[in-house]
Structure 1
Amino acid sequence: MELERNCPVCGEQKTFYRAAATKMHLGTKVKWHCPDCEYGFVRIDETVDTGAASA
């Protein structure tokens, strides 16, 4: 339910919180959000990470 990683908007290490999860044909899609800003990203079964370029 929590994930430690660098937030590119805040510019420091933050604890991201799981906002939603959905099972789909590619795997489980999980949305993560920073509690201090509007930044969020999506992971699908650890293979697809929309925040990887900024992590």
Structure 2
Amino acid sequence: MSLELEHYCPDCDDDRVFYRAASTTLHLGTKVKWHCPDCDYGFVQVNGEVDTSEA
């Protein structure tokens, strides 16, 4: 799994390269926490399908 992810950051109002802050395996799949290095914004993805980031 990648350590970086290009994603839109609503706090920076631009696309940023997010870094994987944590990862764990659940019964639903793999849970990954991503954080923007330029601000405090972060989001979680579960199995690459569930995404808690702001649209």
Higher-RCO chain (CA-CA 8 Å, sequence separation at least 6):
1
**TM-score, with structure 2 as normaliser:** 0.91
- The runs of at least 4 aligned residues of structure 1 exceeding 3 Å deviation read none
Superposed CA deviations along residues 1-55 of structure 1, whole A, max 9, x for unmatched, are 000011000001100000000001000000000001000000001111001xx24
**Number of aligned residues:** 53
Please report the RMSD computed on the Cα atoms of aligned residues, expressed in angstroms. 0.8
Structure 2 gaps, min length 5: none
The answer for the alignment partner of 1:22 in structure 2 is 24
Structure 1 gaps, min length 5: none
In 1: Cα distance, 2:7 partner to 2:26 partner = 25
Q: For 2:9, which of 4, 7, 23 is the aligned residue?
A: 7
**TM-score, with structure 1 as normaliser:** 0.91
